[in-house]
Structure formats: C-alpha cells, structure tokens
Amino acid sequence: DGGITQSPKYLFRKEGQNVTLSCEQNLNHDAMYWYRQDPGQGLRLIYYSQIVNDFQKGDIAEGYSVSREKKESFPLTVTSAQKNPTAFYLCASSLQGSGYEQYFGPGTRLTVT
C-alpha cells in the first residue's frame, strides 16, 4: 500500500520538553510538508522540503525544526520555544510543487500540558 504514515496518533508531553513527530511516505514524492491545524481553522504551513537535505520555512516556522536526510522521511520537532504547541499536525507529500495534489497522512494530535 502506498501512502503516508504519521506516528503516533496521539502524543502527550509536559511543557518545556521537545517532541518529535514522525512522517514517512512510500510514494516516491520529492516534496514533503508539515502543517498545523487548530480547531475550526484551516491549515498553516510550518515547513516544506523540495528535495533531500533541503527545507524551507513556511508561515509559522518559529519554535519548530525539521530534517530531510532521506526522501521517505520528514520528521518535525516541536521545541520548547513553541509557545502554543497543542494542535493537530498534518504531514503531506506531493510529486513536486503546488501544481500537484498533496497526499496527507492521518495526523498527530499533540497535547502539551
């Protein structure tokens, strides 16, 4: 089965701790994306990567970091510097840029207390 997997589905952390969200795809897509979704809101872009070893900040990158060491993997770290980390995080991939449809993972709901 081709697709995107995100793990875990639910994640709970104490304030002040860094946490890493996993995203893996086997679609052989070059581009990968991380979005944040708050209740009743649309998606806001955190980071995106066009190719391995390259990534760009999106609209709300502060307090987050990413890496792209393999084509299949694009993990997101939510650092303690992120002021309001509790949210639903969605990973996506596409063949190339914004002219292509994006395929989404099932999401990770992060709760920080």
Q: Where do contacts with other proteins occur on this chain (CB under 8 A)? A: 4, 6, 31, 33, 35, 40-45, 48, 50, 56, 58-59, 88, 90, 92, 96-107, 109
Contact indicator for 100, 83 with CB cutoff of 8 Å: no
Q: Which is nearer to other proteins, 60 or 80 (CB)?
A: 60
In whole angstroms, how close is the CB of 6 to other proteins at the nearest point?
8
Indicate left, alpha or beta for 65 from its phi (over 0: left) and psi (-120 to 50: alpha).
beta
In whole angstroms, how close is the CB of 91 to other proteins at the nearest point?
8
Question: Cα(108)–Cα(38) distance, rounded to whole angstroms?
Answer: 12
Closest CA to 29 of 89, 104, 88: 104
Which tokens in the block code for residue 104?
């989404």
Q: Which is nearer to other proteins, 35 or 74 (CB)?
A: 35
In whole angstroms, how close is the CB of 43 to other proteins at the nearest point?
4
